[in-house]
Amino acid sequence: MSRITAIIADDEPLARERIRTLLTRFPEIEVVGESADGRETVSLVRSLRPGLLFLDVQMPELNGFEVLEKLHPKISPEVVFVTAYDEFALHAFEVHAIDYLLKPFTRARFARAMEHGLRRLKTAAGAGEDPRLASLLESIRAQQSKGDRLAIRDDGSVYFVRFLDIDWLEGAGNYVKVHAQAREHLLRDTLKNLEDKLDPQRFLRVHRSAIVNLDSIQRLEPWFHGEYVVVLRDGTRLQSSRTYSERLRSLVR
């Protein structure tokens, strides 16, 4: 069997370095590229056509599942998912026999994933789209649409925060600060991605960088040009922007 080319996609440099180091024990694998966000990953896979992709579930620009959705089945590599969280995702991986690595993973766990991946690669030559992968993606999308909480990694632990407990979300580039029950959690994601997962009847974007839970609003104070100062129950004051003020106005009609 000729050497298998691989791409490592993870926005954490240390995570990419760990996978690259562990792969030195598998001489049949050649790392041909690394990427730090979803769009870069799509571009690399399209240009390098790797046989194996180590894919982080949560990355900037596009998450791991969105990356796969953008790849044509004929160039989709075998995938070892890398995740720091998510019971629904782990369950889906197990049901559909797709390998995953749960951060922080051990050397032994990595070896088991590689053994399974190499067996798959030896038998999958020219097989085209894997129906188990398509089924996995369908399950993930279904679970995301029904999910009622966020899984947030913090100092090696995973915190589960119910959407109902979130007061507001603060966007900062490729990160989101989750304000919930007087605590703050930093999540590696974009505000746009989270907005798509939230119930629009319960959460409202009031600014380019802020989404609020309607149940957390104590009062609205009129501001200039039809804008508002949104005052939350904990005293937080958020300035709405004109672009997002229309629905706020509907709350007081």
Structural domain that includes position 179: 150-251
Gyration radius (Cα) of the chain, Å: 21
The predicted structure's pLDDT at residue 90: 53
Q: List strands edge to edge, sheet with 237-239.
A: 217-222, 228-232, 237-239
Do residues 116 and 168 both lie within one domain?
A: no
Give Cα 31 to chain centroid, integer Å.
23
The predicted structure's pLDDT at residue 213: 93
Residue whose C-alpha is closest to residue 207's, from 242, 246, 232, 167 = 242
CATH number at residue 210: 2.40.50.1020
Do residues 128 and 205 both lie within one domain?
A: no
Q: What is the Cα–Cα distance from 176 to 74, expressed in whole angstroms?
A: 35
The C-alpha angle with vertex 2 and arms to 127 and 8, in degrees rounded to 5, equals 75
The strand pair at 29-35 and 157-162 is best described as: unpaired
The predicted structure's pLDDT at residue 252: 60
The domain boundary residue, chosen from 106, 122, 146: 146
Do residues 117 and 192 both lie within one domain?
A: no
Backbone φ, ψ for residue 118 (5° rounding): -65, -40
The predicted structure's pLDDT at residue 237: 93
**3-state secondary structure at position 11:** coil
Q: How many CA atoms, within 13 angstroms, populate the side-chain half-sphere of residue 83?
A: 22
Do residues 12 and 134 both lie within one domain?
A: yes
Q: Which residue has the higher pLDDT, 41 or 98?
A: 41
The domain boundary residue, chosen from 122, 146, 170: 146
Average the pLDDT over 78-95 and give the result.
63
Q: Which residue has the higher pLDDT, 99 or 207?
A: 207
The predicted structure's pLDDT at residue 140: 53
Q: What is the Cα–Cα distance from 4 to 2, expressed in whole angstroms?
A: 6
Do residues 130 and 180 both lie within one domain?
A: no
Q: Calculate the average pLDDT of the chain.
A: 80
Do residues 95 and 114 both lie within one domain?
A: yes
Do residues 47 and 161 both lie within one domain?
A: no
Q: What is the Cα–Cα distance from 185 to 200, expressed in whole angstroms?
A: 22
Among 30-44, 46-60, 147-161, 186-200, the range scoring the smallest mean pLDDT is: 147-161
pLDDT in tens, 155-197: 656 677 888 899 999 998 888 999 998 888 888 888 888 888 7
CATH number at residue 90: 3.40.50.2300
Do residues 234 and 140 both lie within one domain?
A: no
The domain boundary residue, chosen from 96, 117, 146: 146
The strand pair at 29-35 and 4-9 is best described as: parallel
Q: Are 28 and 1 in contact (CB under 8 A)?
A: yes
The predicted structure's pLDDT at residue 77: 82
Do residues 123 and 28 both lie within one domain?
A: yes
Buried b / exposed e over 194-233, threshold 16 CB at 10 Å, is bbeebeeeebbbbbebbbbbeebbeebeeeeeebbebbbe
Do residues 134 and 161 both lie within one domain?
A: no
- Strand partners of residue 149: 162
pLDDT at 1 over 70: no
Model confidence at 86, pLDDT cuts 50, 70, 90, reads: low
Which H/E stretch holds residue 68? helix 64-69
Structural domain count, the chain: 2
pLDDT in tens, 119-153: 777 765 544 445 555 555 555 555 545 457 777 77
Q: Are 207 and 241 in contact (CB under 8 A)?
A: yes
Q: What is the Cα–Cα distance from 141 to 230, expressed in whole angstroms?
A: 33
Q: What is the Cα–Cα distance from 147 to 57, expressed in whole angstroms?
A: 16
Backbone φ, ψ for residue 40 (5° rounding): -65, -35
pLDDT in tens, 188-241: 888 888 888 788 888 989 888 999 999 899 888 888 777 888 999 999 999 888
Do residues 154 and 141 both lie within one domain?
A: no
Tokens linked to 112: 């088991």
Largest separation between any pair of C-alpha atoms in the chain = 70
Do residues 205 and 137 both lie within one domain?
A: no
